[in-house]
């Protein structure tokens, strides 16, 4: 199940919660808290793999209460043949965008809804191989999110299914991957949302809407030194990047240092080759910027350091496309072809 952040498309970011607590708080970007979803009944946790109707009694002819969406958290309290009586958290509890919650005012959450649903397509924490089933379903939703004609909420469904996998099966060897993917999807959804705001093109990061780092930092804390920590740390770089360089060297200088430090911290990580390439690219940009301002000394220094990092990338990740791309950047610099700016014939 190859994970690709490009699969993550338009959906609304939701709040992460722990089902083991009766009430838990979800952190806000700006520090406010609101009560999280509640678990008011005892019983095995469960989640649907498809949109499933909730009825007032165990019959398809009974009055319908609501539809329970893919990945929604439920607690099974009773069974009757092919029917389950459940408490299910509503969409509003997990789909609310934390940044839309006012600092003051009503911060109450809707209570779980109760009813009967057909048992088919419902994965419980007692389901044999349930962790693998949920991971497979989540990966399928990610694939749908990559399809321009796929469901608009596919990315959200994938995120919720990953959350259920790591909550319902915490001892599964797939739990770390599930936690990382859920955190990454939430990050990408917030990133996509923030990119639509006017502040997205602000030069300095503090001048724009930043993504909530809570879940990614939790991945790093729980799995230090692992590939999941390395992946989470790479995502966090987004909050340190400039929205627009505006032709000034300050931003690429700072960003080059950020990427190089990441490569130092995670020398064998799954994103290290890309981080080194990003650093080389910014050094190539600085070479052009300093040359344009007639600062030959700084331009030559950036050029030579770009060559050094490109060689490091080639030495450690020779089979990576990023090593080849870095080699191309050095070739352009050597030939006097601008990497940044307008090429003069």
- Phi, psi at residue 99, to the nearest 5°? -75, -15
Query: What sections of the chain are H helices per DSSP?
Result: 91-95, 130-146, 154-168, 175-194, 214-222, 227-236, 250-265, 272-292, 296-316, 321-335
In a domain, 305, yes or no: no
| Per-residue pLDDT at 94 | 54
pTM above the 0.85 mark?
Answer: no
Is 165:138 a contact under the CB 8 Å cutoff? yes
Is 212:236 a contact under the CB 8 Å cutoff? no
- Tens digit of pLDDT per residue, the chain (345 long)? 444 443 443 333 333 333 323 223 333 233 333 334 444 467 899 999 999 999 999 999 999 999 999 999 999 999 999 999 999 986 654 544 444 443 333 444 567 889 999 999 999 999 999 999 999 999 999 999 988 888 889 999 999 999 999 999 999 999 999 999 999 999 999 999 999 888 878 878 777 889 999 999 999 999 999 999 999 999 999 999 999 998 899 999 999 999 999 999 999 999 999 999 999 999 999 999 999 999 999 999 999 999 999 999 999 999 999 999 999 999 999 999 999 976 555
Q: At what angle do helices 214-222 and 227-236 cross, to 10 degrees?
A: 150
**Cα separation of 165 and 171, whole Å?**
10
Range of the domain at 61: 5-182
Identify the helix (H) or strand (E) that includes residue 46: strand 45-48
Count how many domains the chain has.
1
Cβ contacts of residue 293 below 8 Å, gap of 6+?
none
Long-range contacts of 22-29 (CB under 8 A, 24+ apart): 26/98, 27/98, 27/212, 27/214, 28/98, 28/99, 28/101, 28/212, 29/98, 29/99, 29/209, 29/210, 29/211, 29/212
**Cα separation of 264 and 259, whole Å?**
9
Q: How far is CA 52 from CA 71, 92, 108, 151, 314, in A?
A: 11, 17, 26, 16, 52
In a domain, 198, yes or no: no
In a domain, 200, yes or no: no
In a domain, 96, yes or no: yes
| Per-residue pLDDT at 219 | 98
| Per-residue pLDDT at 90 | 66
| Per-residue pLDDT at 316 | 96
Token duo for residue 160 = 């919720």
The CATH code of the domain that includes 105 is 2.30.30.40
In a domain, 122, yes or no: yes
Tally of CB atoms within 10 A around 7 = 21
In a domain, 144, yes or no: yes
Query: Helix or strand or coil: residue 37?
Result: coil
Is 63:99 a contact under the CB 8 Å cutoff? no
Cβ contacts of residue 53 below 8 Å, gap of 6+?
60, 64, 66, 67, 68, 117, 118
């Amino acid at each position: 199940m190859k994970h690709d952040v490009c699969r993550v498309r338009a959906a609304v970011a939701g709040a992460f919660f722990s089902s083991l607590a009766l009430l838990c708080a979800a952190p806000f970007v700006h520090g406010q808290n609101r009560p999280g979803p509640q678990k008011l009944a005892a019983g095995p946790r469960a989640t649907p793999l498809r949109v499933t109707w909730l009825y007032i009694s165990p019959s398809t002819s009974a009055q319908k209460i609501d539809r329970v969406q893919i990945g929604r958290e439920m607690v099974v309290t009773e069974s009757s043949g092919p029917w389950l009586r459940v408490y299910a958290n509503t969409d509003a509890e997990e789909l609310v965008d934390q940044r839309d919650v006012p600092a003051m005012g009503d911060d109450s959450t809707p209570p779980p809804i109760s009813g009967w649903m057909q048992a088919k397509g419902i994965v419980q924490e007692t389901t044999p191989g349930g962790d693998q089933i949920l991971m497979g379903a989540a990966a399928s939703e990610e694939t749908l999110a990559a399809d321009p004609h796929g469901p608009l909420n596919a990315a959200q469904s994938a995120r919720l299914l990953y959350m259920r996998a790591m909550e319902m099966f915490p001892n599964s060897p797939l739990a770390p991957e599930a936690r990382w993917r859920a955190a990454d999807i939430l990050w990408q959804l917030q990133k996509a949302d923030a990119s639509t705001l006017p502040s997205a093109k602000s030069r300095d990061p503090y001048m724009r809407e930043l993504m909530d780092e809570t879940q990614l930092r939790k991945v790093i804390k729980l799995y230090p030194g692992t590939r999941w920590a390395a992946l989470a740390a790479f995502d966090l770089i987004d909050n340190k990047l400039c929205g627009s360089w505006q032709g000034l060297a300050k931003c690429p200088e700072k960003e080059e240092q950020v990427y190089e430090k990441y490569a130092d911290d995670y020398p064998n990580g799954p994103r290290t080759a890309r981080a080194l390439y990003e650093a080389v690219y910014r050094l190539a940009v600085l070479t052009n910027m300093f040359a344009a301002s007639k600062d030959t000394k700084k331009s030559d220094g950036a050029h030579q350091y770009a060559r050094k990092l490109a060689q490091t990338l080639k030495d450690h990740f020779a089979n990576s496309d990023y090593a080849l791309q870095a080699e191309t950047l050095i070739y352009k610099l050597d030939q006097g072809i601008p990497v940044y700016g307008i090429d003069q014939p």
